[in-house]
Chains A and B, each alone.
Chain A
Amino acid sequence: MRPIRGGHLLSLDGVSRDQVLDVLDTAESFVEVNRRTIRKVPALTGRVVASLFFEESTRTRLSFETAAKRLSADVISLAVASSSVKKGESLRDTISTVEALGLDAVVLRHRSSGAAEQVARFVPHVHVINAGDGQHQHPTQGLLDAFTVRQVLAERHGTSGPESGAELFAGLRVVIVGDIRHSRVARSDIAVYLALGATVRVVGPGTLVPAEVAQWGVEVSDDLDEALEWAQIVGLLRLQVERGGGEFVPSLGEFSTHWGLSVERLGALSPDTLVMHPGPMNRGVEIAHAVADSPQSLVTRQVANGVPVRMAVLYLTVAGGEDR
């Protein structure tokens, strides 16, 4: 993969272990910054970061904008509703207009796969950070998921994240459940876990787990309960509700019964097994209400770790050196 330092973060496909660790270790420093009374460092003073959310996601946008502000960057936020994109302006023109304002970085969320890659081609001197593109990738989510797992496992082993490096991921058994086909989070999570040395298994309805997934180096399982028994980490994915209307699964109820993490299934898990969800959750569909709030759930930690991980990504890409 292309360098993150001084470059872009478009995808985690092909990311190396060292690249992941660079982000995770840098994020540890920002966790400490976020504990200070003044949670702000001047690292990106005078830099301009634009957050362009062509697809609304309040939580991801706030997380990125908070991260940029804590690095002292100026933040320009393009409100999608008032944007000229809807008036038929091409993606290239929209980006060029914003670039003319003098930008150092663009945080881009778009409904189309590959939009971040295209924008990086349109404005090669601006650092582009993919905040989710269609059904392709959501790299900062993958990184913060790995960061959260390492943080929790390091605590259990009485060590620290940076000290443990990638050790705690060696042979770690991760199961990802649900809509693999359409999930950008699944693609980023799989890439990051494999880069760190974990073993990844995927389970879901046949319509949502294409056979080609096996070529990514993951195991495909048909038996959720067996996979859950095997797992140390269970990653759930959001099922887009419209996919449960008979097209991909007959009903949300059937999906929930056969592939949802119910209270009964939680009970069958090893007490050490951790449950993750990128949010926003469909409680009662892929995750039972009580499971989301159980002590084994890392959901709130994932949200909290979003800011330091995104600070690390902004810092490494924007400040990461002049030779690009």
Chain B
Amino acid sequence: MNRLVLRGGEVVGPLGVRRADVLVDDGRVIEVGPALEVANAVEIDCAGSYVGPAFVDLHAHLREPGGRGAETVHSGARAGVVGGYGALVAMPNTEPALDSVPLVRDVLERGRSSVLDVAVCAAITVGRAGERLAPLADLASIGVHLFSDDGTGVANPLVMRRALEYARPLGVRLAQHCEDAALCEGGVMNEGEWSLRLGLGGRPAAAEEMMVARDLELVRLTGGRLHFLHLSTLRSLELVEAARAEGLDVTFEVTPHHLTLDESACAEYDPDFKVHPPLRPRQDVEGLRRWAREGRLDAVATDHAPHTPEAKDRPFDEAPAGLLGLEHAASLVHEALGENNPVELFRLLSRGPARIAGLDRRGAFGLSAHGGDVAPGEDANLVVFEPTATWVVDRTRLQSRATNTPYHGRSLVGRVRHTLVRGQLRVREGDLR
């Protein structure tokens, strides 16, 4: 039976919160209102919880093809729904890279049989090598809306300029990993007093900021559209905000880890804290949180990056960068917002990213619409989040195939209770169904 009623929750719209029941049937929201009288529906308790649009992740590494030991589209999707997500954007730095129609189509097909909606961010250049443009027009024609060489940025300014120019009339958006590779050479954590003390190579903040500045100039030059991935310093945010005030079409995301962990977490050389861009000084973390509270962020994206235990059981400098995000992102954003701010929570995790990813309307490969208002007629992609629940992260109980979370053992406040994707109850009281 697909007829469900979400009872007694606080429905979070784009502007405010009201207590209401939500009736869902046949994949859609049918009715929203107080004390709905409904027969023949599964009753889902939502008391003391927010009911809002399911989360949308702009930045998930699902490792297919080529990295099934760490994650698959299906396991990543399961991790996603447990974390309250209804849609994920799969990143293209796979082996081989997602730079062609067949490869992208394969991931989209796998996504179609998973527990949520999977979109693909395809590569900007062939093999993510930063030299020749990937078939952006072909890819756009099968519904790809985002393009990135994530993992690295497009280093050559001429290639980046051409990509911005070529993408503009296609109506798609490029997304850049901003870190100047030459300045980051040998770097494994933020450059500063900590990296010096620990004897670890540094990745300076300037490596990120100068690439942000360069790309803003290229957007100004080309009139292109650009999304900045995982910005991690306050200066980067300021640069983007100032450019947008001048009318540039740029958006940006920050990650839950850059909102909650600072560089001192690397002091024990645990590779689960190694990530690019690196964890930054406390002033940046506090700055990012302040911006979150002031409503100045566009979106939070996880940069969910699974790695096998054997890859992480290496010395810090040799281990791969990246950490898990999907299953605890919402709790961390809730913590970072500091006060109960459900409208902002759902804007950062659902409405903002859905718009950036073009997932706010239905698309090819059965993709439904996300980040809506929780109103009759909408696709029933919904999450029920209990803001006062506390839980402890346990890496042995994750849906992800990987275990590389830096939050193992950490007590978090706020937890996803139920997740509905296209009207299907995928998670009930925290358990995958």
Q: Given A118, A184, A213, which contacts B269 in the complex, CB threshold below 8 Å?
A: A118
Give a binary string over A104-139; 1 marks a CB under 8 Å from any B CB, 0 the rest: 000000101111011001000000000001111100
Cβ of B130 to closest chain A Cβ, rounded Å:
23
Q: Given B199, B314, B318, which contacts A133 in the complex, CB threshold below 8 Å?
A: B199
Which applies to chain B's interface (DSSP): helix, strand, loop or mixed? loop
Nearest chain A residue, comparing its CB with the CB of B312: A90
Query: Quick check: B192 and A212 within 8 Å, CB to CB?
Result: yes
Which A residues between 205 and 238 are near B, CB-CB below 8 angstroms? 210, 212-213, 215-216
Q: Given A92, A113, A187, which contacts B317 in the complex, CB threshold below 8 Å?
A: A113
Cβ of A257 to closest chain B Cβ, rounded Å:
27
Cβ of B197 to closest chain A Cβ, rounded Å:
7
Docked complex Cα distance between A216 and B196 (Å): 10
Complex contacts, B43 vs chain A, CB 8 Å:
none
Query: Quick check: B193 and A215 within 8 Å, CB to CB?
Result: yes
Give a binary string over B181-201; 1 marks a CB under 8 Å from any A CB, 0 the rest: 000000000001100111110
Cβ of A189 to closest chain B Cβ, rounded Å:
14
Given A90-B310, A117-B269, A118-B269: A134 in contact with B196 (beta carbons within 8 A): no
Cβ of A245 to closest chain B Cβ, rounded Å:
15
Complex contacts, A181 vs chain B, CB 8 Å:
196
Give the size category of B's interface with A. 10 to 19
Given A118-B269, A212-B192: A92 in contact with B313 (beta carbons within 8 A): yes
Docked complex Cα distance between A257 and B192 (Å): 29
Which B residues between 244 and 295 are near A, CB-CB below 8 angstroms? 268-270
Complex contacts, A135 vs chain B, CB 8 Å:
199-200
Query: Quick check: A134 and B317 within 8 Å, CB to CB?
Result: yes
Give the size category of A's interface with B. 20 to 34
Give a binary string over B309-335; 1 marks a CB under 8 Å from any A CB, 0 the rest: 010011111100000000000000000
Docked complex Cα distance between A187 and B195 (Å): 12
Nearest chain B residue, comparing its CB with the CB of A184: B199
Cβ of A288 to closest chain B Cβ, rounded Å:
29
Complex contacts, B200 vs chain A, CB 8 Å:
113-114, 134-136
Given A90-B310, A118-B269: A113 in contact with B196 (beta carbons within 8 A): no
Nearest chain B residue, comparing its CB with the CB of A191: B197
Query: Quick check: A112 and B192 within 8 Å, CB to CB?
Result: no
Complex contacts, B197 vs chain A, CB 8 Å:
13, 187, 216
Is A91 close to B, CB under 8 A?
yes
Query: Quick check: B199 and A187 within 8 Å, CB to CB?
Result: yes
Docked complex Cα distance between A114 and B200 (Å): 9
Given A117-B268, A117-B269, A118-B269: A91 in contact with B196 (beta carbons within 8 A): no
Q: Which of A110, A113, A115, A117 has the most CB of B within 10 A?
A: A113
Cβ of B346 to closest chain A Cβ, rounded Å:
39
Docked complex Cα distance between A92 and B197 (Å): 24
Query: Quick check: A91 and B199 within 8 Å, CB to CB?
Result: no
Docked complex Cα distance between A93 and B313 (Å): 8
Query: Quick check: A112 and B196 within 8 Å, CB to CB?
Result: no
Complex contacts, A133 vs chain B, CB 8 Å:
199
Complex contacts, B314 vs chain A, CB 8 Å:
90-91
Q: Given A118, A184, A212, which contacts B196 in the complex, CB threshold below 8 Å?
A: A212
Given A135-B199, A137-B199, A184-B199: A113 in contact with B313 (beta carbons within 8 A): no
Which B residues between 179 and 226 are near A, CB-CB below 8 angstroms? 192-193, 196-200
Complex contacts, B198 vs chain A, CB 8 Å:
113-114, 136
Query: Quick check: B315 and A110 within 8 Å, CB to CB?
Result: yes
Complex contacts, B313 vs chain A, CB 8 Å:
90-93
Docked complex Cα distance between A118 and B318 (Å): 13
Docked complex Cα distance between A307 and B268 (Å): 29
Cβ of B399 to closest chain A Cβ, rounded Å:
24
Nearest chain A residue, comparing its CB with the CB of B315: A112
Query: Quick check: A212 and B199 within 8 Å, CB to CB?
Result: no
Docked complex Cα distance between A114 and B313 (Å): 13
Docked complex Cα distance between A215 and B316 (Å): 24
Docked complex Cα distance between A220 and B200 (Å): 21
Query: Quick check: A114 and B269 within 8 Å, CB to CB?
Result: yes
Complex contacts, A93 vs chain B, CB 8 Å:
313
Which residues on A are within 8 Å of B, measured CB to CB?
A: 13, 90-93, 110, 112-115, 117-118, 121, 133-137, 181, 184, 187, 210, 212-213, 215-216
Which residues on B are within 8 Å of A, measured CB to CB?
A: 192-193, 196-200, 268-270, 310, 313-318
Q: Knowing that A91-B313, A113-B316 touch, tell me 19 more A-B residue pairs with CB under 8 angstroms.
A: A90-B310, A90-B314, A91-B315, A93-B313, A110-B315, A112-B317, A113-B200, A113-B315, A113-B317, A114-B200, A114-B269, A114-B316, A118-B269, A118-B316, A121-B270, A136-B199, A181-B196, A212-B193, A213-B196
